[in-house]
Amino acid sequence: MNDIRRVAVVGAGQMGAGIAEVFARAGLDTVVCEADQRALRAARGRIDRSLHRAVDRGRISEQQHTDAWAHLLFADDLEALADRQLVVEAVVEDERVKTEVLGTLDKVLADEDAVLATNTSAIPVTRLGIATGRASQVLGLHFFNPAPVMPLVELVSSLHTDHTVLDRVETFAKDVLGKHVVRSRDRAGFVVNALLVPYLLSAIRMAEAGHATAQDIDDGMVHGCAHPMGPLRLADLIGLDTVQAIAESLYAEYKEPLYAPPPLLSRMVEAGLLGRKTGRGFHPHRTA
């Protein structure tokens, strides 16, 4: 039995709420931490809707729904996380914000063996870890959206991460959360986004140049390549601001043109057309 039972998630947007749900459904004592009560109400709503969808689609029972809620606590102060054994940072994909949160958590956590994990999509974990006094216990634990449904977790070690910490968290992710784990070295984009994002950017450039409509680009990949979702609809699901942030991290590290965010992507982000979470991106979406 894995020893990690007291966990927390800091930042409960689309990804953070999903990670918290994964923890709660696994029977873990889970604290969800957000900046204020308004953000916490939004987080409760996201988790509640997701759990109801899971019941409606037969993924969990009504009893499992009830049990998950019993394992969730909500807080708007990082001090409430002092007794946690594992904290996942899932705040906005901004290096300054993430390092500030991780630095505060480092001071708050009472357990000297507590693990700090980041759900960053692309920022090198080494840069985040050195913002703390426990870089050997900082690693990347990158879930995929929607976290309760997607089976994969990327486990990312920095240049400082202790191998025993890595092994401990891998066992936890596999045996307690039931996830499939792949390990990655600490490089921008890790494994999945280093391959996926150039593909998404290529689709955006195709739409930008007027070669085909967004719907036809997506239909081509779904019906011609057996992809479950087209690249532009997938970009909408991820969030165009997140796609842009990942692309910028990749371009900053490698300076290769295929990683540069296309002008159309930048304009859409500036306009607040971020995809599913705002109701409009490359496609219209119904917001929850």
Active site amino acids: 121, 142, 154, 193
CA dist., res. 247 & res. 287, Å (int): 25
CA dihedral sign, ordered 266, 17, 144, 148: negative
In sequence order, what DSSP letters do the residues of 203-231 get, joined into one string?
A: HHHHHHTTSS-HHHHHHHHHHHH--SS-H
As to burial, measured by CB atoms within 10 angstroms (0-12 exposed, 13-18 middle, 19+ buried), residue 38 is exposed
CA dist., res. 201 & res. 206, Å (int): 9
Count of CB atoms situated within 10 Å of the CB of 244: 23
Q: Report whether the peptide linkage leading into residue 261 is cis, meaning its omega lies within 30 degrees of zero.
A: no
